Each structure stands twice: as structure tokens, then as C-alpha cells.
Structure 1
Amino acid sequence: MDFLRTPDERFANLPDFPFAPHYVELGADLNRLRMHYLDEGPPDGEVVLLLHGEPSWSYLYRKMVPVLVDAGLRAVAIDLVGFGRSDKPTLRESYTYQAHVDWTWAAIQAIGLTDITLVCQDWGGLIGLRLVGEHPDRFARVVAANTVLPTGDQPPGEAFLAWRRFSQESPEFPVGKIINNACVSTVSAEVMAAYDAPFPDDSYKAGARHFPMLVPTSPDDPASAANRSAWESLRSFDRPFLCAFSDSDPITRDAAPMLRELIPGAAGQPVVTIEQAGHFLQEDKGRELAEVVVDFVRTNPR
């Protein structure tokens, strides 16, 4: 598999991002790709795994990591393959839903994460919730934020379809501007440049461009059967499950009630709405979301 590796100098002196890089190399059956992750806080602290979505990277969690660490938690944020400091296959056909699940699960195993509190947003949930369904004993708690696990049995909303059309038809794919446009607050030019940092040019964006096409939108999608199977497990997942959704995300705003209704672990948990936040609530209200996570961990001990 041909892939690109973003030069390290692209990540120098990013605003509010002092974290040391860590890497795992996946096995030969996964093309020996290298995945990057942040690992902050006490090594023996309870693990909070932060999974980003499209088209962001672990920089999205920079406001949350210090709050989690100050609470004595171990914050681990993985860059999905194709994003951040992780390797970026050059061909779109290298990216499949199953491949992303396999890559991320391999990284979790390689890092040695157990008793995980998962915090997942956007594609972080499409991958993360699938993994919870397939490996429930690895996860102690889940915080779902502006995400869902689609099977294609329900039609996607017009907001998602508009986003998918843009992702395929736009001559340019300006990652930083995309993040800004999906926030309520105004993202500074320096921060937008940091979101652009992993992508020196369009050749690095195959995964980012292709992600919207991997969301199951019909019952016969290649990922539908596996996601339905994961849902069978999630319908009996009784460990603490919290929905923390923003008040201004047109893409996922209908997902929280469905998750709360179908997943037993959500019963009795509070309804958390992050005010004045868009799709990327970590960017708009990262500290507030982190405080929700800390409280959730403390009030739901293992």
C-alpha cells in the first residue's frame, strides 16, 4: 500500500498543542501503517480514549486534554489513519469502513488500553461505537458526542447529504475552513492553519475526501451488516453511556434520543446539552465537554 507521511516540521509550534507524539506501527496484515496518538496524564490513571472525526485530528482535543489530566485521568487521543500525524494511504480505495475499524482496534491493542472511557464524535463514533459493540468488555464507559452508528436502514438527513455532495464536488477541500464553518465560534486563522497542518497538499487528503462516502446510507451498504451486528451488542450494553450533544449541530441532532432509547447503559444518565456549540463541540466548548467527562467518570466508578 502506498502512503504519505506528513513531515514533522508541519506540526511545529502549533497553538496550544505542546503534547509529545507517540506512535504504534500496525502489523504486516495491516500494511505496517504507523498511527499517531497523544498520551497525557498518569500512566496508571483511568483511560479516556478520545476519537476524532472528519476532517479533524487529535488537535481537536487540545482544550480537553489538560482538564482530563488535571483530574488524574490518562488522556489518549488517536489520529485515525489518513489524518493528523498518522500515515495517509494515497488511494481512495485503500480506505474502507472495515479498514478504519481494524486499524483503530489494532492501535488500541498495541497501546494496551483497557477499561476505556470512550469519548467519540463524528466518525470517532462510527468507528468507536462499532468497536464497543464488537468488544464491549474493553470499555468501561462511553460518552457519545454528536455521533451515531448508522446502518443505512434510515435515510440520512439533508444536512449530511449536502455535506457529502460538497466533499465530492468541491474543487478544494479546505480542512481548516470546514472546521470553522461547522463551529458556532469563530476559529482563528492560526488554529485553522493547525487543522490544515497534516495536509501539505491535496495528495494527503484521500482519506479525508473519501470518508463521507463510507457512511452507510442504504440497507445494502458494505458496512451495514457489521453495524447491525454491533447494534445487537449495543442493545445489551449496560455500562454507563452518556450522550453529550451540542445545541447547534444539524447533522446529528436527532441521534441522541435514539441512542438513549436503545442502549441500556444510557438509562438514568442525565441529558447533557452543550450550549452554543456546533458540530465540532470540542472546538467550541472543549473545556465544558471535558468537565462533563470528568464528572461522568467520577459519578460512575468502576
Structure 2
Amino acid sequence: MQFLRTPDDRFDTLVDYPFDPNYVEVDDTDGGALRVHYLDEGPKEAAPVLLMHGEPTWSYLYRHMIPPLVAASHRVIAPDLVGFGKSDKPAARSDYTYQRHVDWMSDVVGQLDLKEVTLFAQDWGGLIGLRLVAAMPTRFARLVIGNTALPTGDQPMGPEFAAWREYSQTAEPFDAGRIVFGGTTSKISPDEIAAYNAPYPDASYQAGARQFPMLVPDSPDDPAAAPNRAAWQVLRGLDLPVLTAFGADDKIMAGVEKVFQKLMPGAAGQDHVVLPGAAHFLQEDVGPELARRINAFIAVT
């Protein structure tokens, strides 16, 4: 598999990102290997909080949440999905499949031997992360779900998602930083916009960012539809504690939290929240408050 690797100097002047890089190699499923970047902060002996980002962000999204989580004595793992951040970026859009991303992140979790994991998953972090939980439920202790879904293609995704998908395929240039800006309520600064664009020196690095919206199952016969249905069968039988924390201003994901609250047994009786002043990228809008709620959830479950 041909891939690109973003030069390190693209990340030299990031704002509020003082974290050391860590890397692991995963099987690219095509006879080679890909380097995956992850953050690993806090005491290594502590049970990990796994923070999974989505489209078109990377672990920079969690820079305001990591310090309060570490201050509460948690180990924090924040990987960059393949194709994003400091991770390698396969060059062809056809290299990106939903199943490969599940396999790659499963490999990361296995190599790091993460156990008693608290998962926080947003956007594609949920589409991938919830598949990890279904595949290896004994590694997870609790779930915090924010502004994400696990679609099976049996229900329409809605006009807002259709508009986003169309934009993602036609926008020139594909400006990740401006997309994050548009998906926040508080709005990010020019330096933060630049940080979200740092992984992409030019459009050739954006195959994953362009392809991800096309991988969301939107019909019952989508290649990912059956695996997601199977994942739901597992998730509906788990008693792991589940907390939903969605942004009140996220139009695409509005109301999806009720699906998790209804279908996942461990969601019963939890202190679910829809956070005011938070849009799709709620980590940017209310990161410290979200971290506080995760800390409190861990403390009581």
C-alpha cells in the first residue's frame, strides 16, 4: 500500500499541544505496515481513557481534555486514525474502508494491551470505537458517547448529513480547519484552524478525509451495514455503564443520543447531558467540562 507521511516540521508550531508523540506499526492488510501516532499521557499503570476522534480532526481535538483527565490520575490514550494527524496516510481513496479502520484500531488496542478502558468516542471515533467494543468487550469498562452514531443503513441519515457528504466531495479546497470552525459554537482561532490543516501539506494527503463521509453506511446493503448490525447485537447485550454527552447545537446528530439511551442497558439511570453552547466538535466548545463529566462518571461507576 502506498502512503504519505506528513513531515514533522508541519507540527512544530502547534498551539496548546505540548504532548510527546508515540508510534506503533499496524498491518496495512496489503503486505506492508502503517505507522499510527498516539498520545499516551498520565500514569502508565492507571486504567486508560481512550479518546477517539473523527472526521476531519486528529488528536489535537483533545488538547483541552487531556490535562484535566490526567490531573484526575487517569492514563489518557488518544490515537490519530490512519489518514489523519501524524499517522500515515494511504494515498488512494480505495485504500480506506470501514473494516480496515476497525482492524487498524483493533491492532493498536491489542498492541498496547489496553484493559479496563473508558472509551470516549465522537464522530467517526464512535463508528470505529463502538465496533471495537463489540469485538472485544472485555477490554472496556465504560463508554462515554458524544455526537456520534453506529448506523446500519436501515434508516436515512437525514438531509443535514446528505448536505455534508455533498460538500465533502465538492469543496475545493478541502479546508479541515474551516470545517472544524464551522462545526463549533465558540469558534476556533486562526492558529487552531492552521493546526487542523497541519496534517495536510497538500490535497494528496487528504484521501482519507475525503473518503470518510462516503464510508458511512447509508443503505441496507452497504458493506458495513451487516457488521454494524452484528455490533449492535453485542452492544445491546452489554451491561457496561454508558453515558451520552451531546452538543445542543449539533444539527446532524440531534436526537441520536436517545438511540443509545434506549438500546444500551448500561445507559439506564445515568446522568446523560445535552451540553449548551456545544456543536458537533464539542471537545472544542466545552472540552474541560466534558472532561469533568468523564471524571465524575468514572468515579461513580
- In which range does the TM-score fall when normalised by the shorter chain? over 0.9
SS in 2 for 1:289: helix
- How many residues align? The count is 300
Matches for 1:12-161 after TM superposition, within 5 Å: 12-27=12-27, 29=29, 31-161=32-162
TM-score, structure 1 as length reference: 0.98
Residue 240 of structure 2 corresponds to residue 239 of structure 1:
yes
Any conservation in 1 of the 2:27–2:104 contact (CA below 8 Å)?
Answer: no
Q: Percent identity?
A: 55
Query: What CA distance in whole angstroms lies between the structure 2 residues aligned with 1:134 and 1:22?
Result: 25
Cross-structure match for 1:3: 3
**What amino acid does structure 2 have at the position aligned with 1:253?**
A
Any conservation in 1 of the 2:250–2:280 contact (CA below 8 Å)?
Answer: yes
Residue 191 of structure 2 corresponds to residue 193 of structure 1:
no
Q: Any unmatched runs of 5+ in structure 1?
A: none
Residue 184 (structure 1) shift: 0.3
Matches for 1:149-298 after TM superposition, within 5 Å: 149-298=150-299
Any conservation in 1 of the 2:53–2:125 contact (CA below 8 Å)?
Answer: yes
Any conservation in 2 of the 1:175–1:195 contact (CA below 8 Å)?
Answer: yes
**What amino acid does structure 1 have at the position aligned with 2:9?**
E
Alpha carbons of structure 1 residues 162 and 28: separation in structure 2 relative to 1, 3 Å:
closer
TM-score, structure 2 as length reference: 0.98
Any conservation in 1 of the 2:28–2:104 contact (CA below 8 Å)?
Answer: no
Residue 116 (structure 1) shift: 0.6
Residue 27 (structure 1) shift: 3.2
Any conservation in 1 of the 2:68–2:288 contact (CA below 8 Å)?
Answer: yes
Query: What CA distance in whole angstroms lies between the structure 2 residues aligned with 1:186 and 1:230?
Result: 35
Query: What CA distance in whole angstroms lies between the structure 1 residues aligned with 2:244 and 2:28?
Result: 37
Residue 28 (structure 1) shift: 6.3
Could you give the per-residue CA deviations for residues 162-199 of structure 1, whole angstroms, max 9, x where no partner exists? Answer: 00000011221000000000100121000000011100
SS in 2 for 1:26: strand
Alpha carbons of structure 1 residues 28 and 208: separation in structure 2 relative to 1, 3 Å:
closer
Any conservation in 2 of the 1:274–1:288 contact (CA below 8 Å)?
Answer: no
SS in 2 for 1:207: helix
Q: Any unmatched runs of 5+ in structure 2?
A: none
Structure 1: 4+ residue segments shifted above 6 A: none
Query: What CA distance in whole angstroms lies between the structure 1 residues aligned with 2:250 and 2:127?
Result: 17
Query: What CA distance in whole angstroms lies between the structure 2 residues aligned with 1:90 and 1:107?
Result: 21
SS in 1 for 2:33: coil
Could you give the per-residue CA deviations for residues 192-218 of structure 1, whole angstroms, max 9, x where no partner exists? Answer: 000111000000000000000000000
Residue 136 (structure 1) shift: 1.0
Instruction: Please give the root-mean-square deviation of Cα atoms over the aligned residues, in Å.
Output: 0.9
**What amino acid does structure 2 have at the position aligned with 1:14?**
L
Any conservation in 2 of the 1:56–1:195 contact (CA below 8 Å)?
Answer: yes
**What amino acid does structure 1 have at the position aligned with 2:13?**
N
